[in-house]
Amino acid sequence: MGNTDNTTIWFKDDYSLKEINARGKDTLVEHVEIIVTEIGPDFLEGTMPVDKRTVQPARILHGGASCVLAESLGSIAANMVIDPTKYIAVGQSIIANHLRPAPEVATVKGKAKILHLGKKSQVWDIEITNEEDKLICSSRLTMAIIPKFK
Protein backbone atom coordinates (compact mmCIF):
# COMPACT_ATOMS: atom_id res chain seq x y z
CA MET A 1 0.00 0.00 0.00
CA GLY A 2 1.13 3.53 -0.67
CA ASN A 3 0.04 5.05 2.64
CA THR A 4 3.03 5.35 4.96
CA ASP A 5 1.55 6.76 8.18
CA ASN A 6 -0.58 3.64 8.90
CA THR A 7 -3.56 5.71 10.06
CA THR A 8 -5.73 4.46 7.19
CA ILE A 9 -5.96 1.46 4.90
CA TRP A 10 -6.14 3.60 1.75
CA PHE A 11 -3.46 3.59 -0.94
CA LYS A 12 -3.27 7.37 -0.92
CA ASP A 13 -4.12 9.88 1.78
CA ASP A 14 -6.04 12.44 -0.23
CA TYR A 15 -9.04 10.76 -1.85
CA SER A 16 -11.90 13.23 -2.09
CA LEU A 17 -15.61 12.46 -2.17
CA LYS A 18 -15.88 14.49 -5.38
CA GLU A 19 -13.17 12.39 -7.05
CA ILE A 20 -14.69 9.10 -5.89
CA ASN A 21 -18.23 10.01 -6.94
CA ALA A 22 -17.03 11.26 -10.35
CA ARG A 23 -15.71 7.75 -11.14
CA GLY A 24 -19.31 6.47 -11.13
CA LYS A 25 -20.39 8.66 -14.05
CA ASP A 26 -22.15 6.72 -16.84
CA THR A 27 -22.28 3.51 -14.76
CA LEU A 28 -24.86 1.58 -12.77
CA VAL A 29 -23.70 3.54 -9.71
CA GLU A 30 -24.87 6.79 -11.32
CA HIS A 31 -28.08 5.20 -12.67
CA VAL A 32 -29.30 4.16 -9.19
CA GLU A 33 -27.86 7.33 -7.62
CA ILE A 34 -25.36 5.75 -5.23
CA ILE A 35 -23.37 8.54 -3.58
CA VAL A 36 -20.28 7.97 -1.45
CA THR A 37 -20.78 10.18 1.59
CA GLU A 38 -17.89 9.40 3.96
CA ILE A 39 -14.35 8.05 3.87
CA GLY A 40 -13.19 6.77 7.26
CA PRO A 41 -9.78 5.37 8.20
CA ASP A 42 -10.96 1.81 7.43
CA PHE A 43 -14.45 2.18 5.96
CA LEU A 44 -16.44 3.78 3.18
CA GLU A 45 -20.08 4.89 3.45
CA GLY A 46 -22.63 5.75 0.83
CA THR A 47 -26.35 6.15 0.21
CA MET A 48 -28.90 4.99 -2.34
CA PRO A 49 -32.52 6.10 -2.72
CA VAL A 50 -35.33 3.57 -2.52
CA ASP A 51 -37.35 4.63 -5.56
CA LYS A 52 -38.74 3.32 -8.85
CA ARG A 53 -35.24 2.23 -9.95
CA THR A 54 -34.52 0.14 -6.86
CA VAL A 55 -37.83 -1.36 -5.69
CA GLN A 56 -39.62 -4.62 -6.37
CA PRO A 57 -43.33 -4.77 -7.34
CA ALA A 58 -44.31 -4.68 -3.62
CA ARG A 59 -42.72 -1.16 -3.60
CA ILE A 60 -39.96 -2.10 -1.14
CA LEU A 61 -36.22 -2.23 -1.73
CA HIS A 62 -35.30 -5.01 -4.15
CA GLY A 63 -32.74 -7.49 -2.78
CA GLY A 64 -30.74 -7.15 -5.98
CA ALA A 65 -30.55 -3.38 -5.44
CA SER A 66 -29.16 -4.02 -1.95
CA CYS A 67 -26.49 -6.19 -3.59
CA VAL A 68 -25.76 -3.40 -6.09
CA LEU A 69 -25.18 -0.95 -3.22
CA ALA A 70 -23.08 -3.46 -1.27
CA GLU A 71 -20.93 -4.50 -4.23
CA SER A 72 -20.52 -0.92 -5.41
CA LEU A 73 -19.30 0.35 -2.04
CA GLY A 74 -17.07 -2.70 -1.52
CA SER A 75 -15.62 -2.43 -5.02
CA ILE A 76 -14.94 1.28 -4.72
CA ALA A 77 -13.25 0.73 -1.36
CA ALA A 78 -11.26 -2.27 -2.63
CA ASN A 79 -9.87 -0.23 -5.49
CA MET A 80 -8.91 2.58 -3.10
CA VAL A 81 -6.62 0.20 -1.17
CA ILE A 82 -4.49 -0.95 -4.12
CA ASP A 83 -2.07 0.74 -6.51
CA PRO A 84 -4.38 1.73 -9.40
CA THR A 85 -1.49 1.91 -11.87
CA LYS A 86 -0.80 -1.82 -11.43
CA TYR A 87 -3.97 -3.56 -10.19
CA ILE A 88 -7.74 -3.62 -10.32
CA ALA A 89 -10.09 -5.15 -7.76
CA VAL A 90 -13.04 -7.07 -9.22
CA GLY A 91 -15.98 -8.72 -7.51
CA GLN A 92 -15.66 -12.46 -7.07
CA SER A 93 -18.48 -13.38 -4.68
CA ILE A 94 -21.23 -11.65 -2.72
CA ILE A 95 -23.43 -13.08 -0.02
CA ALA A 96 -26.37 -11.02 1.21
CA ASN A 97 -28.86 -11.58 4.01
CA HIS A 98 -31.96 -9.43 3.59
CA LEU A 99 -33.26 -8.76 7.09
CA ARG A 100 -36.07 -6.18 6.87
CA PRO A 101 -37.85 -4.22 4.16
CA ALA A 102 -37.16 -0.62 3.26
CA PRO A 103 -40.14 1.34 1.87
CA GLU A 104 -40.04 3.22 -1.40
CA VAL A 105 -39.91 6.61 0.32
CA ALA A 106 -36.62 5.87 2.10
CA THR A 107 -32.92 6.28 1.55
CA VAL A 108 -30.62 3.47 2.65
CA LYS A 109 -27.02 3.79 3.81
CA GLY A 110 -24.26 1.26 3.30
CA LYS A 111 -21.01 0.97 5.22
CA ALA A 112 -18.16 -1.15 3.85
CA LYS A 113 -15.46 -2.30 6.30
CA ILE A 114 -12.46 -4.47 5.53
CA LEU A 115 -12.32 -7.99 7.01
CA HIS A 116 -9.33 -9.35 5.05
CA LEU A 117 -6.74 -7.34 3.16
CA GLY A 118 -4.53 -9.67 1.15
CA LYS A 119 -2.30 -9.23 -1.88
CA LYS A 120 -4.57 -11.28 -4.16
CA SER A 121 -7.93 -11.03 -2.41
CA GLN A 122 -9.94 -8.84 -0.08
CA VAL A 123 -13.07 -9.51 1.95
CA TRP A 124 -15.43 -6.66 2.83
CA ASP A 125 -18.37 -6.57 5.24
CA ILE A 126 -21.13 -4.24 4.08
CA GLU A 127 -24.06 -3.35 6.32
CA ILE A 128 -27.03 -1.53 4.83
CA THR A 129 -29.26 0.37 7.23
CA ASN A 130 -32.46 2.39 6.96
CA GLU A 131 -33.02 5.96 8.08
CA GLU A 132 -33.55 4.73 11.68
CA ASP A 133 -30.17 2.88 11.60
CA LYS A 134 -31.92 -0.51 11.60
CA LEU A 135 -30.12 -3.23 9.67
CA ILE A 136 -31.73 -3.92 6.28
CA CYS A 137 -29.08 -6.15 4.71
CA SER A 138 -25.81 -7.71 5.82
CA SER A 139 -23.41 -8.58 3.00
CA ARG A 140 -19.98 -10.09 2.56
CA LEU A 141 -18.06 -9.31 -0.61
CA THR A 142 -14.93 -11.09 -1.83
CA MET A 143 -12.76 -9.18 -4.29
CA ALA A 144 -10.02 -10.59 -6.52
CA ILE A 145 -6.97 -8.39 -7.06
CA ILE A 146 -5.76 -8.81 -10.64
CA PRO A 147 -3.20 -7.05 -12.87
CA LYS A 148 -4.61 -4.00 -14.59
CA PHE A 149 -5.73 -4.56 -18.18
CA LYS A 150 -3.31 -3.20 -20.75
45 in active site? no
Do 48 and 69 form a contact (C-beta atoms < 8 A)? yes
Determine the 3-state secondary structure of 74 from DSSP. helix
- Length of the chain counted residue by residue: 150
* Burial of residue 86 (number of CB atoms within 10 Å: 0-12, 13-18, 19+): exposed
Which of 30, 45, 71, 132 is an active site residue? 71
Report the side by side order of strands in the sheet with 43-49: 35-39, 43-49, 107-117, 121-129, 135-147, 87-98
* CA dihedral over 54, 60, 62, 65, signed as positive or negative: positive
Please tell me the distance from the alpha carbon of residue 24 to that of residue 101, in angstroms, as a whole number: 26
Residues designated catalytic:
71
